[in-house]
Amino acid sequence: MEKTMTEQKKPTLASTLGPNNTIEKNIPDNVVWIDDAFYVKKSIFGLFTSILKEPLGAHFLTGATEGGIIEMSRWHLQCLQDGTLQNYTTVINSDIVSEKL
């Protein structure tokens, strides 16, 4: 039987972070939380990563500029909160077999 429609799952924070997400173990006491949701850390490679407050220490997004990471982290979290992230994302490949073999 051929599938004519694909099921579209709504993205969640857990699916955004993935099954093997990196957790920041050393969060400085003087960190500045942006929107009380995340802070941005510069890596030793010169990239910037947003670190979430909930779940505490979860690495979220990584990019080339601090401003870009702040903007995209805010946008991504807002879309997750509004339930609209699926309007901007597409699953190209999935490792889950949904049909009986």
Would you list the domain boundaries of the chain? 13-87
With a CB cutoff of 8 Å and minimum separation 6, the contacts of 87 are 79
**Of the candidates 98, 58, 80, which has an alpha carbon nearest to the alpha carbon of residue 11?**
80
Task: Tell me the pLDDT tens digit for each residue of 13-36.
Answer: 988 888 888 999 999 999 999 999
CA distances from 49 to 26, 30, 86 (A): 14, 17, 23
pTM for the structure as a whole: 0.77
In the structure, what pLDDT confidence band is assigned to residue 7 with cuts at 50, 70 and 90? Answer: low
